[in-house]
Amino acid sequence: MKRKIAFKFLIISWLMCQSLAYSQSLDTSFAKNHQITNNSGKYKDSIIKQEWSPNSIPDSLLFDGIQKYTFPNTHLTLIPPKTYRADNRGNIIHDWTGSSIQCTIVNSGYSSLLKTIHKETFEKQGFKYINQETLSTRLNKEGTIFLIGFTLNGIEYERITFFIGNNTETAWLSINYPVMMKSLLFETIENCLTTIEF
């Protein structure tokens, strides 16, 4: 039992590092492929860098707030918020605000995994624990949100770490957004999470 808990903790630690690495780099491959640059020649990937232009992303790449999206290599489907788009890694990103949504499937039951996650789990990883809440999807399936905070390059971010699953596997969604955009994004992201089918 202790080995299982230790293994799960290692998985959580690794996934948190992956999410942090993604939020640090954001995705510039789209910009590279479409020659989206500013006058200094740097790639535009976020309004946070004040380099975004409303004409830089073709409308055809943006979600409309109606269509469903299934994360690659998973059977988790949701309706992404309007004006988000999928990147070439299968994540969902919002170029205008620097927000991102990632999904990973963990081979562990939902209830048993949640028993291994506490406030200290996040604090040991260097995150600020904010709160925890239960969220129900439109299909009345229960999920759990852990809200945590971190600072990156002098900018304050929050991360919604959302778990939903069954007795054998759990979907872990990691949603990052800058705190300065929270009033615009938080309710929209929560509404997105309620559309999950898993």
Q: Give 5 or 181, the one with higher predicted confidence.
A: 181
For the chain, what percent of residues have pLDDT higher than 90? 58
- Is it the case that residue 2 has pLDDT exceeding 90? no
Mean pLDDT of all residues in 92-104: 91
- How far is it, in rounded angstroms, from Cα 94 to Cα 83? 7
- How far is it, in rounded angstroms, from Cα 157 to Cα 147? 11
Q: Which region, left, alpha or beta, applies to residue 163 given φ > 0 means left and ψ of -120 to 50 means alpha?
A: beta
Q: What is the pLDDT of residue 96?
A: 84
Q: What is the pLDDT of residue 57?
A: 57
- How far is it, in rounded angstroms, from Cα 32 to Cα 76? 29
Bridge partners of residue 94, in order along the sequence: 99
Mean pLDDT of all residues in 85-96: 89
Question: Do residues 55 and 40 touch, judged by C-beta distance below 8 A?
Answer: no
pLDDT digits (tens, 9 = 90+) for 127-176: 999 999 999 999 999 999 999 999 988 999 999 999 999 999 999 999 99
194: Cβ–Cβ under 8 A, 6 or more apart, which residues? 135, 136, 137, 138
95: Cβ–Cβ under 8 A, 6 or more apart, which residues? 44, 45, 46, 47, 52, 56, 57, 85
When pLDDT is cut at 50, 70 and 90, the band that residue 18 belongs to is very low
- How far is it, in rounded angstroms, from Cα 154 to Cα 6? 33
Query: What is the value of pTM for the model shown?
Result: 0.72
Q: Give 8 or 40, the one with higher predicted confidence.
A: 8
